[in-house]
Amino acid sequence: MALHAGAQPRFIVLASTTSTEQSGLFAHLLPQFTRATGIGVRVVALGTGQALDVARRGDADAVLVHDVEAEERFVAEGHGLPRRAVMFNDFMLVGPKADPAGARGGDVAAALARVAAAGAPFVSRGDRSGTHAAERRYWQAAGVDLDARKPAGYRECGCGMGPALNIAASSSAYVLADRGTWLNFRNRADLAILVEGDRRLLNPYGVIVVNPAKHPHVRKDLAQAFADWLVSPAGQAAIASYRIGGEPVFFPNASP
């Protein structure tokens, strides 16, 4: 429904991730939600950890992020209403086509172990994002304790997914990327997908409405309308219809 002339503008602040923004999903998705409801969405795109911190301060009405453990902790602390599954895509290990570390294959832990053993350049987000959290899990599975000693070629950029890919492209480095941002990334230089399909690379996203009992000023009803729309047949269809070069980017997985 359209806003009536003279009505106060209705909008929510959504704390979300650089991957959802840089993949182009929001430019596709949010106008459809606004046309359906008359509610605008102002996105603050950060790493998942930072997005949740924004919501903890009460500076967002909802979050759409991708670190299930951190999301569940956020809810358990009382900052959010129950998490709802929205969609998923996957991570992949990207690196130079020549693959000097011999990382290519279907096992992300084995690939990172080879990158570490070779001392090959690796760009880490290093920004407490959902991607960074996943990357740390994969390094641990590879037998690499980043807190004790980082591999010789490991560098943290403290940046979003797009800038991390740009750094990797300019330095022929390895990097963990989400499929959505990769598909929308044009400055690939000699980078190629080297590892994909490992079940551990699944990347689920959830939406959480900020708890008005903790933060009474939040626009709970508008945020709830957004969460409800995302998991509705219309929202799920909108997610499924977003493609880059004919390839789906996110896969809806809301519970009926």
**Is the sign of the CA dihedral 194, 196, 199, 205 positive or negative?**
positive
- pLDDT at res. 8: 57
Beta bridge partners of 244: 247
- Separation between Cα atoms, residue 106 and residue 10, nearest integer Å: 47
- pLDDT at res. 22: 87
Low-confidence stretches of the chain (pLDDT < 70) are 1-9, 256
- pLDDT at res. 3: 42
pLDDT tens-digit readout, 96-133: 999 999 999 999 999 999 999 999 999 999 998 999 99
- pLDDT at res. 89: 94
- pLDDT at res. 19: 86
- Least Cα distance to 52 among 207, 226, 201 occurs for 207
Angle, helices 48-56 vs 130-141, to 10°: value is 130
- Separation between Cα atoms, residue 169 and residue 101, nearest integer Å: 16
- pLDDT at res. 18: 87
- Separation between Cα atoms, residue 198 and residue 220, nearest integer Å: 38
Percent of the chain with pLDDT over 70: 96
Predicted model pTM? 0.87
pLDDT tens-digit readout, 22-33: 899 999 999 999
Q: How far does CA 188 lie from the centroid of its chain?
A: 20
